[in-house]
Amino acid sequence: EIVLTQSPGTLSLSPGERATLSCRASQSIGNNYLAWYQQKPGQAPNLLIYGASNRATGIPDRFSGSGSGTDFTLTISRLEPEDFAVFYCHQYGTSPLTFGGGTKVEIK
């Protein structure tokens, strides 16, 4: 099983600041099948990034993904008030599919 480790656990930032979230895999993720989801309280997860760096439909360009192999990053260039939430990375290339433990981005 591919274990995904996200860091930090919590990120305290102010609106307008840059957020950098990390996701490290226990083994290389084939074809960079790595996605990022945003989840707000009481809501289902929403797909942001797939294939490590491709934005999903309707996702603003302040969200960007990068990385390959075992190290991946989600960057939010300038935080908007609606961006504060929990973010999960997810590998969908190997069964069992797995999720990281999440990074909470909170308002400082």
Partner 1 sequence: QVQLVESGGSVVQPGGSLRLSCAASGFTFSNHGMHWVRQAPGKGLEWVAFIRDDGSNKLYADSVKGRFTISRDNSKNTLYLQLNSLRPEDTAVYYCAKANGWLPVSWGQGALLTVSS
Binding partner 1 (rule: CB under 8 A), the pick from 2, 35, 76, 79 is 35
Count CB-CB contacts under 10 A for residue 32: 19
Work out whether 33 is an interface residue with partner 1 (CB under 8 A): yes
Task: Examine residue 100 and tell whether it contacts partner 1 (CB under 8 A).
Answer: yes
With CB under 8 A as the contact rule, the residue among 45, 53, 62, 71 that binds partner 1 is: 45
- Terminal-residue alpha carbon distance, the chain: 35
Phi, psi of 54 (to 5 degrees): -100, 125
| Beta-strand pair 63-68/85-91 | unpaired
The reply on whether position 90 binds partner 1 by CB under 8 A is yes
- The one-character DSSP state at 32 is G
Specify the stretch interacting with partner 1 by CB under 8 A; choose among 10-18, 61-69, 73-81, 89-97. Answer: 89-97
Do the Cβ atoms of 56 and 65 come closer than 8 Å? no
Least separation, in Å, of the C-beta of 51 and partner 1? 8
> What is the contact surface with partner 1 in residues (CB under 8 A)?
1, 33, 35, 37, 39, 43-47, 50, 56, 88, 90, 92-93, 95-102
